[in-house]
């Protein structure tokens, strides 16, 4: 069968062989990418996150992905520093984690990344993690548009808040936590992005959000 295929290829014109080779290389490339994705997401052994430190800090932990991270990391045995803007929601998540994982310590820090004073908020975080070996940082906090709109339709307040929360807030939190990681020479930082920056590059109806979550 293989000999038959190669024999047929030898009789084909040069342009066909070039196109065939390009197609084969492209198919091989995407196959390897897919296999790597399968391995990373389903087959790769999980890491012992506690080797980075016994604490994890999560921003935006009261809903969705951030809340999921909080419970997953608590399940891995990591103590948590939860940073969010709503004291009530933080307490609810903290109580739920304490009820499910009795030995896990939970510290909450109230910071409003959109309308609050970021410098003051960073000082709160710095004080909260003083003496804690925070080995995992999950930068999850983020906001998007209330509804789809073109770039020129984005009002100043929303534009300012998007940049302040998604870029400035994430950068400043990383700066605060990173110092301890550098001193201990270990740590892991996870920045939550968005498919808006990958699946639909330069998403015209969420341009600023896509750029801030790239």
| Catalytic positions, written as ranges | 209
Contact 173, 59 (CB under 8 A): yes
Strand partners, 83: 59, 109
The candidate with the shortest Cα–Cα distance to 169, out of 195, 189, 140, 135, is 140
Determine the Cα angle at 71 with ends 50 and 188, to 5°: 35
- In the sheet with 188-191, reading across from the earlier edge strand, the strands are 106-110, 79-84, 55-59, 134-139, 188-191
Phi and psi angles of residue 56, each rounded to the nearest 5 degrees, phi first: -130, 140
Distance CA 204, CA 207 (A): 5
Distance CA 191, CA 189 (A): 7
CA dihedral 46→192→39→29, nearest 10 degrees, is -160
CA torsion sign for 28, 34, 35, 37 is positive
């Amino acid at each position: 069968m293989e000999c038959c295929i190669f024999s047929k290829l030898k009789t084909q014109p040069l342009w066909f062989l070039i196109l065939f080779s390009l197609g084969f290389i492209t198919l091989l490339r995407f196959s390897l990418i897919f296999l790597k994705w399968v391995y990373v997401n389903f087959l790769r052994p999980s890491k012992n996150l506690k080797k980075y430190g016994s604490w994890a800090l999560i921003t935006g932990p009261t809903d969705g992905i951030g809340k999921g991270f909080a419970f997953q990391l608590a399940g891995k045995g990591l103590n948590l520093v939860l940073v969010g803007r709503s004291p009530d929601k933080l307490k609810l998540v903290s109580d739920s984690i304490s009820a499910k994982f009795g030995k896990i310590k939970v510290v909450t820090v109230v910071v409003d990344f959109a309308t609050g004073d970021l410098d003051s908020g960073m000082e709160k975080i710095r004080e909260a993690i003083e003496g804690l070996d925070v080995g995992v940082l999950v930068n999850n906090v983020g906001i998007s548009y209330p509804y789809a709109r073109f770039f020129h339709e984005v009002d100043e307040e929303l534009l300012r808040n998007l940049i302040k929360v998604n870029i400035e807030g994430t950068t400043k939190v990383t700066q605060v936590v990173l110092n301890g990681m550098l001193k201990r020479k270990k740590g892991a930082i996870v920045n939550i992005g968005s498919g808006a920056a990958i699946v639909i590059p330069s998403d015209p109806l969420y341009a600023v959000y896509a750029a801030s979550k790239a």
